[in-house]
């Protein structure tokens, strides 16, 4: 008589939503119809006079990318449909594709929404968001007792 059910397969099982968020397949147990989206890599820096966001978007053109600020969030997104047709001898293969992503970043209080510059070069989208002049960050040191 078994009191406990024991599973000898010790590999972690992740829900599909986690795999889609991470952007890569973690397990091989996804159904054939499931797709995993990609999440572009981002570098964010706090320079002297501006915040800089660099996002890797290989294979995309600036026309494919949407950049906006909404509710104090920087939103970077893309939606692209493509079609490929191969004709070779008597074979014809036609494939359709669709790719999309969206990244959102909460902007700091001292970000100036009216002074944003964006440039796309060699698959890298560079966004500079100026800092508001004269902004004083409120800090308070709290003593630990």
pLDDT at 65: 93
| Residues 22-76 pLDDT 10s | 444 444 544 555 445 567 889 999 888 999 999 999 888 899 899 999 998 999 9
Percent of the chain with pLDDT over 90: 36
Between CA 105 and CA 102 the distance in angstroms is: 10
pLDDT at 16: 54
Query: Which CATH number is associated with domain 16-131?
Result: 2.60.40.790
Are the C-beta atoms of 64 and 80 separated by less than 8 Å? yes
Find where tokens 């989208």 sit: 125
User: Which comes out higher in pLDDT, residue 1 or 122?
Assistant: 122
> Could you tell me the residue ranges of all domains in the chain?
16-131
Phi and psi dihedrals of 42, rounded to 5? Answer: -135, 140
SS (H, E, C) 47-78: CCCEEEEEEECCCCCHHHEEEEEECCEEEEEE
User: Which comes out higher in pLDDT, residue 106 or 6?
Assistant: 106
Per-residue pLDDT for 92 more than 50?
yes
Which of 4-8, 83-87, 112-116 has the largest mean confidence? 112-116
Q: Is 4 exposed, middle or buried (0-12, 13-18, 19+ CB in 10 A)?
A: exposed
pLDDT at 13: 52
pLDDT at 17: 52
pLDDT at 5: 47
**What pTM did the predictor assign?**
0.63
Per-residue pLDDT for 2 more than 60?
no
């Amino acid at each position: 008589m078994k009191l406990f059910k024991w599973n000898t397969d010790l590999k972690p099982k992740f829900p599909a939503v986690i795999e889609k968020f991470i952007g890569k397949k973690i397990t091989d147990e996804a159904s054939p119809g499931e797709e995993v989206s990609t999440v572009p890599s981002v570098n964010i820096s706090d320079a002297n006079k501006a915040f800089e966001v660099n996002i890797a978007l290989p294979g995309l053109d600036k026309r494919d990318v949407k950049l906006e600020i909404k509710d104090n969030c920087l939103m970077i997104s893309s939606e692209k449909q493509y079609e490929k047709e191969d004709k070779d001898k008597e074979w014809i293969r036609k494939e359709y594709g669709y790719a999309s992503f969206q990244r959102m970043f909460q902007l700091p209080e001292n970000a100036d929404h009216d002074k944003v510059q964006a440039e796309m070069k060699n698959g890298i989208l560079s966004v500079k968001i100026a800092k508001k002049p004269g902004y004083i960050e409120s800090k308070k040191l709290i003593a630990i007792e």
